[in-house]
Amino acid sequence: MHAFSMMSDGFFLSLSLCLDIGLVNVAIISLTLSHGFRPGFWLGLGSCVGDLIYAALALAGMAALLQFESVRWVVWIGGAAILLFLTWKMAREAMYPATAPAVAGEGSASAPHLSAWRGFLRGVLLAVSSPSAILWFAAVGGALIAKAGATSPTTAAIFLGGFFLGGLCWTLFICGLGSHGRKRAGAGLLRACHVLSALLFAYFSYSVIVNGYHDLIVQSAAHVSS
């Protein structure tokens, strides 16, 4: 049961990251609509690997730093604050959606068809070069990793496996939609992503705040009184 909870935490963490509409998702949707399922999938798979690299680095660093109570306080407060901000941001964008911008060079029928390897590498580079990804894994990812307790090699592997699975499922989902020629679904798809993202961010905000309260306040008070 603990292993399932660990994997599900990684899975939904990955989904919440994927649903924050940005350059990578716009590139996947645009490439799939213009060139089909396979090019979009390889780009998305590369972005999953790029996100996994950041997740592994955050996991390795937080496992050592979270031994200090002061770090746990910073992670709890900072992570909760950022999650609440992202909840508000996604809710606002769901109410006032913007049209997805075109990705240069991919909307034209004459654009060169990307090889699988080039598409994969491009996805990795898009993911690791995103400034928001660094902030995400430094603050939000750290708070959720602390909650999951993935500090051993086994639990870390389970957590990261769930994380990668979440990104892969999201890639298959959006590439599947785009490959069926749903060119008019772009704005509607973005709005649905914002709604789902707001709900996930709200859930994680509640989870991080409640768990941090019990771990850092309730347990500390119980320890002092005993």
Give me the pLDDT at residue 60, please: 74
Residue 209 belongs to domain spanning: 2-225
Mean pLDDT of 1-20: 75
At residue 25, the 3 state secondary structure works out as helix
Residue 112 tokens read as 């060169």
- pLDDT category of residue 45 using cuts at 50, 70 and 90: very high
Mean of the per-residue pLDDT values of the chain: 74
Domain count, the chain: 1
Tell me the pLDDT band of 187, cut-offs 50, 70 and 90: low
Name the residue among 202, 198, 213, 200 with its Cα closest to residue 76.
213
**pLDDT one-digit tens code per residue, 203-213:** 877 877 887 78
Structure-block tokens of residue 73: 């306080």
Higher pLDDT, 170 or 189: 170
Please name the residues in contact with 50: beta carbons below 8 A apart, sequence gap of 6 or more.
Answer: 123, 124, 125, 126, 127, 128, 133
Tokens standing for residue 37: 């399922």
- What is the 3-class SS of 100-159, one letter each residue? CCCCCCCCCCCCCCCCHHHHHHHHHHHHHCCHHHHHHHHHHHHHHHHHHCCCCHHHHHHH
Query: Is there a contact between 33 and 186 (Cβ–Cβ < 8 Å)?
Result: yes
